[in-house]
Each structure stands twice: as structure tokens, then as C-alpha cells.
Amino acid sequence: MKKIITNLFDIGLKIRTGLNEGPKWIFYSLFWWCYPATILRNKAANCVNGKIRILLLRKSGIPIEKDCKINYGTLILGMAKRPPAVTFGKRVAVAPYVIFISSSYPGLSKLGEHPELKSMIQKLGPIVVENDCWIGARSIIFPNVKIGKGSIVGAGSIVRDNIPPFSVVAGSPAKIIRTLNSNVVNNL
């Protein structure tokens, strides 16, 4: 009985929130299970409403912590479920048109069998964005990357390696151009 009341309360809360957010929010919050994760992520990338974008990404299996801002056009490629393709910490800001690639393969190309290239091009792994990070527009983040707490990724950067906490990186490939004073950042 308690479970039924809880479920009815959840549905009522979704409908009340939907009246404030609009009909799309109601539709996606109630019928998200109709869509595979890839469709939900593509709809999120093309969604103008930021709250619906976050909802669609969460429903597709992407853990997003409190106070995150993921802008229009952010695309998450790759289907890793456990661990999730991308994990966002608290207060993360992602600028428009950032691409997160959690799996990268050459497809049916013979390059995938080349011994010198095999370790470089066949990758699968989660991307972790820790708390208080800022990722600039049109950056590309590759598999098995951890962006450390309080780091900044400059616009247009291509990130292939882990970024230590409180670092500013930019370029192609991304290189550390500055290290922030962690004491100042922690006191903000």
C-alpha cells in the first residue's frame, strides 16, 4: 500500500512539475522508457530547454549531480552502461557542442587489425568529470579520461589523457597551460 501511494505521489509530482515546465517535460518524464538510450541522448543534444535536456540525459543512464549546466548540442557517444559512459560531478558547466566519446572503433575498416594502430584506435571506457569543472565549447573528450576537480578545458580542445585537479588545459591535444591554486578554489 505504501509503495502504491509513493508511486501515485511521484506521478502527481511529475504532472505538477510538467504544468510548470510544459508538455514536453510531462511526455518525456512519463514515457522515457519507450526510447533507447541513444535516441534520448540525441533528443537531449537537440533540446532547447535545459531542464528537459538534463532529464533526458539522466533517463538515458548518465549520472548528473546537482547544479550542472549542460548546454545545447552536447553529444554523448558510446553505450557503456556500467560504468556509465559519462559521469558528471556537482556544479559542472559544459559549453555548447561538446562531444564526449566513450567508445571509439574504426568500424569495419582493416585499420582495426593493424598491430601498430590497434592500441591507439580501439578504445572503450568511461569519462569522469569531477566537481566544479568547466568545459569549453566544441571540445572533444575521448574514452578513459578523468577531468579532475576544479579543472578548465579551453574551447576547441581535444582531451585524450587524464587532467589533474585544478588545471587549465587547451589545445589539440590538450596540454596543461596553467595550474590553479587549490586553496583559493576551495575557499570560494
Would you give per-residue pLDDT tens digits along the chain (188 residues)? 556 655 555 666 555 555 445 566 566 666 666 677 777 888 888 888 888 889 888 888 899 999 999 999 999 988 656 678 899 999 999 999 999 998 877 777 777 777 877 766 767 889 999 999 999 999 999 988 999 999 999 999 999 999 999 999 999 999 999 998 877 666 65
**What confidence score (pLDDT) does residue 163 get?**
97
**What confidence score (pLDDT) does residue 75 get?**
92
Between CA 123 and CA 101 the distance in angstroms is 10
**What confidence score (pLDDT) does residue 94 get?**
97
DSSP for residue 146: E
CA dist list (Å): 66 to 10, 38, 70, 145, 156: 19, 23, 12, 21, 26
Contacts (Cβ under 8 Å, ≥6 apart) of 45: 53, 72, 73, 74, 75, 76
The radius of gyration of the chain from alpha carbons, rounded to an integer in Å, stands at 19
Sorted by where each starts, the structural domains of the chain and their CATH numbers stand as 65-187 (2.160.10.10)
Phi, psi of 101 (to 5 degrees): -115, 105
Contact 23, 52 (CB under 8 A): no
Phi, psi of 127 (to 5 degrees): -115, 130
Consecutive H or E run containing 178: strand 175-179
Place of cell 589539440: 172
Between CA 14 and CA 8 the distance in angstroms is 10
Between CA 118 and CA 120 the distance in angstroms is 5
**What confidence score (pLDDT) does residue 19 get?**
46
